[in-house]
Chains A and B, each alone.
Chain A
C-alpha cells in the first residue's frame, strides 16, 4: 500500500485506475481481488500437484537412484514395466480389490441407509448412525493392525466362531485366492460408514411428494425401491462410486500392513509396487513410470464412470 502516495499523484496512474469510483473501477478491484485470493491455491497446486505430474513424466525417462547421476533411457522403463510381472499382477489385484470393495461398501451402505431411514426412534437412529460411522474415525492403519489379528487363521476370533459352526479354519490372509477378498471386506467394513451417510443424506433430502406420488401409482415395497428410490438416489450412488473407486485404486495401507503384498504377489497392489521401487530400492525413474500408470488408471476409470452414468443420473 506504500504505492498509494507515488501513484496517486498522477491521476492516470495504476492506483487511480484501480480505485476509480466507477463501475469499471469496482470491476477491476474485484478482478484483482479474485486473482489475489486464488494465488495461494493456484501456486500451491502448481508447485505440489500439477507441476510434479509433468516432472513424473520426465523422470520416467531416466534411470536414477539419486546417489549417482541420472541416465536418460528413453522408454526403457516402460518396456520393463510391460514385462514386469509384479506390475501386471499389481494392476489386476488393484482392480479386483476396487470392484469388490466398492460394490460391497456401496451396497451395504445403501441397505443400511434404507433401514435406518425407516427407524422412527431417535435414540435408535442415533445409535445405529454412530455405530456404522465409528470405523471411519479409525485410520486404515489401525484397522489393518487389529483386523490382521482377528482374521488370523489359527488363533483369530473370527475363525474360532466359524469352527463352532462346523466350518474349517479359513486362511483369510494366507491364501492367494482369498487374501484380496479379505482385504476388501476389511476395507469395506471401515468405509461403509461413509457411503451409509451419503445415502442417508440423500434419503432425507428426497422430496416426499415424489415418493407419495409413487405410492398413488401403486409402487410398493421392493418395486418402489427399485423403480423410484434408487433412481432418485443416483447422484449419491454416482458420488459414492466415483470417490470409492478413486480411493480404492490407491489402496496401500491395509495390504502393506497385513500381508506385505503376500502370499506370493496375491495382495501386492500397484501403489505398493510403486512404493517398493521408488522408496525401497530408490529407483526414481522406474517408480515414476509406475506412478504414471496409477495416474492414467484413475483418470480413465473416473472418466469412464462419468460417461457411463451420464444419462442415468436422475437429478431432481
Chain B
C-alpha cells in the first residue's frame, strides 16, 4: 500500500457533496409559535407520528392557543415502550401526557411520574361527561387503571385474550367454531385434530400458536386453571368512583382502589398445570417453537393457513384485514373454560405528567381523547378496529362490519358477561417482572427445564424482586 493512493479532489468533492446535502436538508420546517401559545407534548406509541392528530385537531379548533407536539416512542411490546418513556424522563425531557397500557400504569404511578386524576374528575363542572363515560366503560377496565386508591388513566382501549380461529382450516378438518361454553378438552381436540405433519414428521399446519410475552402468551391458561403470578389483592379506596359513578352497577361490587400484586404464587399447582399443557402441545408439534415478541410470524402463519388457533384480542380484526384476510376467513371465541372461565385483559390510555407545565391543557387533551368525538375520529377505531375500544358503544357489531370477525360480540362480552375477568398482573415493578416471566417461560418451552423447575425458579426470582421493590410501592 503506497502513498500514490492519494484521495483525488473529485473524491473529496463527492464526499463533501453527500455531507452538505444532508446538512442543507436538515433545515427542517420549524413551527413558529406565538408567545401566548401553550404547547403540550403528548407521547404516543406506534402507528406513526400523527395517530392522535384527530384528537389534537378537535382541541386546537376549540382552543386556538393550544399547540400539540408528538413524542413518538415505539417498542416491540408494552414494557419496552414503558422503558423508553422512563429513559426519556430520566434524560430530563418532559412530556405532558404519556401513554401506558396496564403493563406500565402502576409503574408510572409508583414512580410518581403520573398524577392522580381523582380531583380533576370529581371537580369537573361537566359531570354529565363523566357519568356518560363511566356508564359506557366496564368497571374492571377502570379499576385496572388505579393505584393505591387513585385513578391514573381513563381507559381508551383494551384487549382481552380471546381465541382466534382460521375458519378455513377448521372446516377442512370438519370442525366448527366452538360455542362460548367450550372447554380446555374441546380446545385440545381441535388443536390436535387440525395439526398436519409431513412424512418426515415436520408440522405443516399447527393447531395452536402463541408468543412469549406477558399479555396473551400462556397467561390465559394460568387464569382458567385458577392461578396467577401474584395473589390479587385490592388496595382500599376508590369509593368516589364506585359510589359516585357506578352506583347500582353489580359489576362494580367489591372493587377497591386498584389491585395490589405483592405475593408471588407462580409455582402453585394450577400455574404448573397450565404451563405443562402448553409445553406438552409444543412437544407434540401442535405448537410451533415459541419465539419472543408479539407475533409477527404468527400473523403470517395464520394468514397463510398454517395455524388454526392463537390468542389475540380485538386488535387482530384490523390487523388480519390489513394482511389481506377476508371477512369470514377467521373468527373469534371466548377463552375455553377449565376450572373456571376467568379471562384476562390489558387496557391502555394516557396519563397526566406530574411535572406538566400546562396540566389543564394536557387534561383537556385526555378528556377529548376519551369523549365521543375522540372515539368517532380516532384512527385506532376508524376505518377498522385496530385495538378494542374501551367504550362499549364503539365495540358493537357494526364496528367490525367490514373486517369481521362474525363473533365480534365476544370482545365486550368478555367483560360484561364474565365479572371475574381481571387484568394481567402488572405491579409497579412490572418491567423486571416481565423479564423474569418471559425468561422462565423460555426455559420451559425450549425444553431446558421441566415446568415445575422453571416455575420454582421463577417464583424464587419473583420473591427476591418483590422483596427488593415491593415495600417501596404498596403501603402496609
Binds A, one of B3-11, B288-296, B376-384: B288-296
B446 adjacent to A163 (CB under 8 Å): no
How far, in whole Å, are A260 and B80 apart by their CA atoms in the complex? 11
A61-83 vs B: 1/0 string, CB under 8 Å?
A: 00001110000000000000000
Of A264, A276, A282, the most chain B CB neighbours within 10 A belong to: A264
Q: Which residues of chain A in 228-269 are interfacial with respect to chain B, using CB atoms and an 8 Å cutoff?
A: 259-266, 268
| Contact A264–B449 (Cβ < 8 Å) | yes
Q: Quick check: which of A20-28, A130-138, A170-178 contacts chain B, the rest being far away? A: A170-178
Q: Which residue of A lies closest to B461 (CB)?
A: A85
Interface contact A281-B288, CB-CB below 8 Å? no
Chain A residues, Cβ within 8 Å of B200:
163, 166, 168
Q: Is the CB of B112 within 8 A of A276?
A: no
Residues of B within 8 A of A85 (CB): 461
**Contact between A175 and B446, CB atoms less than 8 A apart:** yes
> Please, how many angstroms separate the alpha-carbon atoms of A282 and B110 in the complex?
14
Interface size on A, residues (CB 8 A): 33
Are the C-beta atoms of B443 and A264 separated by less than 8 Å? yes
Q: Is the CB of A260 within 8 A of B293?
A: yes
Q: Does A190 contact B (CB under 8 A)?
A: no
Give A136 Cβ to nearest chain B Cβ, in Å.
19
**Any chain B CB within 8 A of the CB of A161?**
no
Is A107 an interface position by the 8 A CB rule? no
Task: Please state if B439 and A152 are interface contacts (CB–CB under 8 Å).
Answer: no
Most buried by A among B301, B443, B446: B446
CA distance A263 to B292 in the complex (A): 8
**Nearest CB of chain A from residue B375's CB, rounded to whole Å:** 32
- A263 in contact with B113 given A279-B87, A281-B432, A282-B86 (CB within 8 Å): no
Pair A264/B432 contact, Cβ less than 8 Å? no
Structural contact, A263 and B442, CB atoms closer than 8 A: yes
Task: Please name all residues of chain B whose beta carbon is closer than 8 Å to the beta carbon of A266 when the two chains form the complex.
Answer: 442, 446, 448
12 additional A-B residue pairs with CB within 8 Å, beyond A173-B291, A174-B291, A279-B87: A67-B111, A67-B113, A86-B439, A262-B292, A263-B292, A264-B439, A268-B439, A280-B80, A280-B83, A280-B435, A282-B86, A282-B90
Which A residues form the contact surface with B (CB < 8 A)? 65-67, 85-86, 152-155, 163, 166, 168-169, 171, 173-176, 201, 259-266, 268, 276, 279-282
Please list 30 pairs of residues, one from A and one from B, whose beta carbons are closer than 8 Å in the complex, sorted by A's number.
A153-B288, A153-B289, A154-B206, A154-B301, A155-B297, A155-B300, A155-B301, A155-B306, A166-B200, A168-B200, A169-B202, A174-B289, A174-B446, A175-B289, A175-B447, A176-B442, A176-B448, A260-B292, A260-B293, A263-B292, A264-B439, A264-B446, A265-B442, A265-B443, A279-B83, A279-B87, A280-B79, A281-B83, A282-B86, A282-B87
